[in-house]
Amino acid sequence: MTGYPMDDKTVVITGGNSGIGLETAVALAGMGAKVVLGCRSPKRGAAAVEEIRTRSGNDEVTNHTLDLADLVSVRSFAAEVSGVDRIDVLINNAGLVLDERHETAQGFEATFGTNHIGPFLLTDLLLDQVRAAPAGRIVNLASFGHAFAIGGIKWSDIDRRRKYREWRVYGDSKLANILHAEGLAQRLQGSGAVANSVHPGPVSTNFGREGDTGGWTGKLMELQLGPVRSWVLRTPEEGARTSIHVAASPQAGAVNGGYWSSSRQSRPRPWTRHAGDVDELWTRTERMIAAVS
């Protein structure tokens, strides 16, 4: 992938200790960016810092503990990076899907809470620092999995106490990532900053055990794909290309509110959309956060 000059720029990446996040961090650090990771495990975060420094040749890499399933941790992370004058790129990369219903520290259903509510609050807390950059960017790692959100986000049972179907829950959270980027784009109009969402494609990572599909679901996918796994799934390096493109390329910097796949603009699935969804997401998310603050 062609490198873009990122010298003197600060990039914050959530979940940058493995998979797509790690490869994104290595690439951007290699372009000269100062990289700040937000990883749940201090041990894995420290190991990632050393790997990124070694592979990129850039020592300007640090980690702060961040658990997106705990809004106290989100606020603590934001406070720790508050001394950064500006954030040129914020990449909301971390995510998961769970086979069974779990709850976050504040009692939200864990997939939606970790994939959307935590990143929503984090972005809000860091937004002034993004605006302070000459051309700030926010990149939400979404997924084609948003296609499972048929008819839009199921607000009537957003906590999934009545019925838990993991891929539907995951789809709602990934649709929320797309709508969140669109809402940010509206609020960033005229500021010089932009927000976009990306689909990395099917990627062979620990996703689910650390990112995209977990437990028995991840094992089942491995068994089903079997020997064709390497032909069907992209490597983490390949999966990171769209995130890197949207974070660094001049072309993507001119787009606000887009949805990207394979480093090109694409469109979310139409059966997931309704007029007013962006405002609905914003209002309900703010209400949910306020209720536990």
Please say whether the beta carbons of 65 and 16 come within 8 A: no
pTM: 0.91
Rounded Cα–Cα distance for residues 143 and 88 (Å): 23
Q: Let me know if residue 58 belongs to a domain.
A: yes
Provide the mean pLDDT of the chain.
90
pLDDT at position 211 is 39
pLDDT at position 93 is 97
pLDDT at position 213 is 44
Assigned token pair, 113: 């809470």
Q: What DSSP character marks residue 186? A: H
What percent of the chain has pLDDT above 70?
A: 88
Domain hosting residue 284, numbered range: 10-291
Q: Let me know if residue 249 belongs to a domain.
A: yes
What percent of the chain has pLDDT above 90?
A: 85
Please say whether the beta carbons of 167 and 131 come within 8 A: no
Q: Let me know if residue 60 belongs to a domain.
A: yes
pLDDT at position 233 is 54
Q: Let me know if residue 2 belongs to a domain.
A: no
Q: Let me know if residue 175 belongs to a domain.
A: yes
- pLDDT tens, 118-130? 999 999 999 999 9
Among 17-21, 76-80, 81-85, 203-207, name the one with the lowest average pLDDT. 203-207
Q: Let me know if residue 1 belongs to a domain.
A: no
**Catalytic residue of the set 4, 164, 170, 259:** 170
Tell me what the mean pLDDT of segment 46-52 comes to.
Answer: 98
Alpha helices in 148-276 (DSSP H): 166-187, 215-225, 229-232, 236-239, 241-248, 250-253
Q: Is 170 a catalytic residue?
A: yes
pLDDT above 60: residue 64 = yes
pLDDT at position 37 is 98
Task: Report the number of distinct structural domains present in the chain.
Answer: 1
CATH code of the domain in which 97 resides: 3.40.50.720
pLDDT at position 239 is 87
Tell me what the mean pLDDT of segment 259-267 comes to.
Answer: 96
Please indicate whether residue 225 or residue 36 has the higher confidence score (pLDDT). 36
224 φ, ψ (degrees, to nearest 5): -65, -40
Nearest CA among 84, 81, 85 for reference residue 73 = 81
- pLDDT tens, 151-163? 999 999 999 999 9
pLDDT at position 125 is 98
Ramachandran bin of 97, using left for φ above 0, alpha for ψ from -120 to 50, beta for the remaining angles: beta
Q: Let me know if residue 77 belongs to a domain.
A: yes
Q: Let me know if residue 27 belongs to a domain.
A: yes
With tokens 């290309």, the residue in question is 241
- pLDDT tens, 171-186? 999 999 999 999 999 9
As a whole number of angstroms, the longest Cα–Cα distance in the chain is: 51
Please indicate whether residue 209 or residue 134 has the higher confidence score (pLDDT). 134
